[in-house]
Structure 1
């Protein structure tokens, strides 16, 4: 018998906070723009390819990251959406395993084609005899965004339990998580072992997600605008002693992996600013143009995020073949060329989404697997990107990721239904 087709459910936009969708799209597009400004591909006097990072070479770069490091806001918005979805699932009678299955599939499925791409691409480049150093540089750079999958998979996997603790003791939950962040940072700096900081992949990002729970509960809505502004200013002001008198770098990109306390401070400030801008953003989202952009990008958001760096590298490489198409990185012409490059990259990624974007929709067949199976699948989905975060993308990790993500998708996507077995009488 053929499997039943998935039902297409119309989205009731009247009950959806479109400002949060706009915030998500803004965060991802800003990440694309920043990476485009950070990737400089040129040719030296000997004709060899040379990679540089023009944006990071600017004297104002570290301070600019106080505004440009936007990932905390993404996790705040994700927390808002997650607890809203979890509460809706509970009302429908869903279990934690049901929720985790769906959410992890939304992350594992889009990642699988990318890992397969790295497997084929790195393998083919190696067999073709290309410079191993160049292969490593391209692969490690293109795989940089994958840290997000490790952090977000971990956060999504614990939403049902963190939502329960939030309901019972919201302040204590924040306090415990914050204490964990500080303890991990202290242990890292005291021992001088940077790997200790990897524990904050949990404490920092789950804490920031938890702030999204407070946002969803209306805590920010009940604050006056001047209070929100004061909190944001105080949060940003606290970064000064943390990065001058304290042990943290003023470069928020440096504070990203391993995650550190300044990212929590940024999350507080960015959440307040988002709430202050919410009325204006709501008016903007009443226009058809804004809705169209948010729909076009938002419906393929994971594809845009995961594939934008490989596309940037590909576009930059092809531009070298066009006379005058690749100005010297860091030159005035190069900075101006980022405008058309940005548009070309977005159009290219969106075109690519028609091929790989279908993987963004979870394919759930049959009942939810037992909790222990879901747990194994979560580990399979989490491990590849965690390893990339620690060791950078290479051929062995591309193989590992392809295998483990395939296993996670098979475990979560298809599970036998509990349909009764009808036996003929007399048997």
Structure 2
């Protein structure tokens, strides 16, 4: 009996040794930084005369646009996702799996955690309408809460395209990346010259697929094979090219604005951030050899989608509680307001952790995905579209009650469609 814990610990260490834990650290850091950024956006407080102030505080700072060149880490999330997709695909290939199994697994990992959120949003927005809440205030809060949901549509689509994109990468990595870059530039040019923002929507797929390809290159070892000086040069050239192209092409100086719809700067940032992550690989690896860092990354990583999906609803709920209680609220942007961001951040994480005690079950791989009988690729593809349609429309039009309900229906159908069945339940 005494040997079992040691054997389990040894097996865990072996599994950890086979992973690049710096990528797990990067994924967790990305999500936590998203929480920080959204917390700084939500400026609710009292002015000097006691009146209510609601603003996007950090966006009004003179340094905000420049800070987004460093703080916008969403491209890195897709780079790391590309690395994980390549690793997962190779593992699946060795076990005799196929694209259908890959896509079903990726879809389930996004759809299952999203379902409780869509249910909550649909009920909350319907209740707000039923009690006659101020529609302008409801729309403001709903659009803010719905703003991160674009990620669900973009990520599930690029992950669903990973198997064919991996094949193209293996056949012609450089040509594939160049073709994607040209397509991204063509869409950007069409949007910028016409002034019609909706013409940029194809880049929701093209840009993030291209950034995902960068993750394939990272998995292949292309970045690791470069010297530190070369990696530093990649970073410098990337930022210089952005500084040159942004004003010439008419892109926004804020990289966050370049996410909606995504533009060429996101692809450039993806390459820069891949270079930076590789450049920092040695110190980050040393950090991840400590038990404390591994514990934090494992704990947050096991409920990462819960943190991402629920942090904004929690922030809004806490703001509402503050407004209802006789608690003094500092004016947004004042020194006291900035100082309170740290305890508020910790409070948000505490509340999300309490929610995760129940919600974390939705992040675990469901048993039905490994059942012997599965739907065909056509059904799986339809499930991907059904899941993606609501967050895609929320990205375009903003969150409201009908779109939240559409999210409930589409997500439920997607999960049901990719279920497996036991062989014994299938008629001979």
Determine the structure 1 residue equivalent to 2:250: 247
Distance in 1 (CA, whole Å) between partners of 2:156 and 2:297 is: 23
Determine the structure 2 residue equivalent to 1:4: none
CA contact (8 A) 1:142 1:309 kept: yes
Distance in 1 (CA, whole Å) between partners of 2:407 and 2:48 is: 38
Report deviation, 1:48: 7.0
CA shift digits 1:183-203 (9 cap, x unpaired)? 100111122211110000111
CA contact (8 A) 2:48 2:331 kept: no
- Structure 1 unaligned runs (5+)? 1-7, 423-427
Report deviation, 1:415: 3.8
Report deviation, 1:381: 1.0
| 1:229 and 2:229 aligned | no
| 1:406 and 2:409 aligned | no
| 1:54 and 2:57 aligned | yes
Alignment of 1:27-426 (within 5 A): 27-43=30-46, 49-365=52-368, 366=371, 367-415=373-421, 417=423, 421=427
Report deviation, 1:395: 0.5
Distance in 1 (CA, whole Å) between partners of 2:51 and 2:153 is: 35
- Structure 2 unaligned runs (5+)? 1-7
Determine the structure 1 residue equivalent to 2:4: none
CA contact (8 A) 1:316 1:326 kept: no
Distance in 1 (CA, whole Å) between partners of 2:45 and 2:130 is: 24
CA contact (8 A) 1:109 1:362 kept: no
The structure-2 alpha-carbon separation of the partners of 1:46 and 1:373, relative to structure 1 and needing over 3 Å to count, comes to: farther
CA contact (8 A) 2:375 2:419 kept: no
Report deviation, 1:283: 0.3
Distance in 1 (CA, whole Å) between partners of 2:165 and 2:367 is: 24
Report deviation, 1:417: 3.2
CA shift digits 1:6-49 (9 cap, x unpaired)? xx9x7511211111000000100111001101101135699875
CA contact (8 A) 2:125 2:400 kept: yes
TM-score normalized with structure 1 length = 0.94
Higher helix content, 1 or 2: 2
Secondary structure of the residue aligned to 1:55 is helix
Distance in 2 (CA, whole Å) between partners of 1:32 and 1:333 is: 20
CA shift digits 1:383-402 (9 cap, x unpaired)? 11101100110001011110
